[in-house]
Amino acid sequence: MTTASTATTISALNARLINAAAAGDIAAVRSLLAEGAHIHAQYKGGLSAIVAAAYGNKLAVVDVLIAAGADVNMKDDSLQSAYLIATSEGYPELLEKTLAAGADVHATDSYNGTGLIRAADRGHVEIIQALLRTDIRLDHVNRLGWTALLEAIILGDGGKRHTEVVRLLTAAGADINLADRDGITPLAHAQARGHERIERLLLGI
């Protein structure tokens, strides 16, 4: 039977594990796991060790946690997982580690956005390239009524990175005619924003 004292000790160990993961302290993470800290314990905001490590891109700690059985699909209260953090923050090595550990590429964030949408928004070319090698849905629509292609155009700056994201998405088969909830197409958004290179891509010229 677990006593109150034992429960308090375990709770303290769990908190220390999450803090150690956030700090990238590999030795402490290993020690705390050996002492009985729970790999999937959650702290304030639903923060777990794997999510804490992912926020800081602490790759060595992520390796230790995955080897110990951490779930890369586990989310905090803001619906961020190690996998989703990799897509939005542009952490290609973290992405590869989470994919290898069974990341659900169809997982969505608080906006019902996939990793592809998050990466397109921020112009993370390398992340887009990696995700396009999976079976992620190209034309998933988030809560705003936008696809990855629309996010790259609407929230992008029309520069080199976002233009390359648009090229990759269209080459992969993204629907260039799929409009937002107001009926505005990707091409119309590109034209309205003066994104000439993206406009030419969508027109095929």
Which pLDDT score, from 0 to 100, does residue 10 have? 63
In angstroms, the CA 57 to CA 190 distance is 33
Q: Which residues of 16-30 are buried (b: 16+ CB within 10 A; e: fewer)?
A: bbbbbbbebbbebbb
Question: 68, 88, 104: which is the final residue of a domain?
Answer: 104
Query: What integer is the mean pLDDT of 32-53?
Result: 96
State pLDDT tens for residues 7-17.
566 689 999 99
In angstroms, the CA 68 to CA 76 distance is 19
User: Which residues form the domain of 115?
Assistant: 110-205
Q: Tally the domains of the chain.
A: 2
pLDDT bin (cut points 50, 70, 90) of residue 5 is low
CB neighbours of 64 closer than 8 A, spacing ≥ 6?
26, 29, 30, 33
- Name the one residue in this structure whose structure tokens are 């990341």: 103
State pLDDT tens for residues 195-204.
999 999 999 9
- The pair phi, psi for residue 120, each rounded to 5°, is -65, -40
Q: Which residues of 129-153 are buried (b: 16+ CB within 10 A; e: fewer)?
A: ebbbeeebebebbbeeebbbbbbbb
Mean of pLDDT over the chain: 95
Side chain identity at 142, as an amino acid letter?
A: N
95 and 163 belong to one structural domain: no
Say yes or no to pLDDT of 101 above 90: yes
In angstroms, the CA 42 to CA 52 distance is 10
| 61 three-class SS | helix
pLDDT bin (cut points 50, 70, 90) of residue 44 is confident
65 and 162 belong to one structural domain: no
CB neighbours of 61 closer than 8 A, spacing ≥ 6?
20, 21, 24, 25, 26, 29, 49, 53
23 and 114 belong to one structural domain: no
H or E element at residue 8: helix 4-23
Which pLDDT score, from 0 to 100, does residue 187 have? 98
Say yes or no to pLDDT of 125 above 80: yes
Question: 104, 120, 145: which is the final residue of a domain?
Answer: 104
Which pLDDT score, from 0 to 100, does residue 205 have? 76
Question: 42, 73, 104: which is the final residue of a domain?
Answer: 104
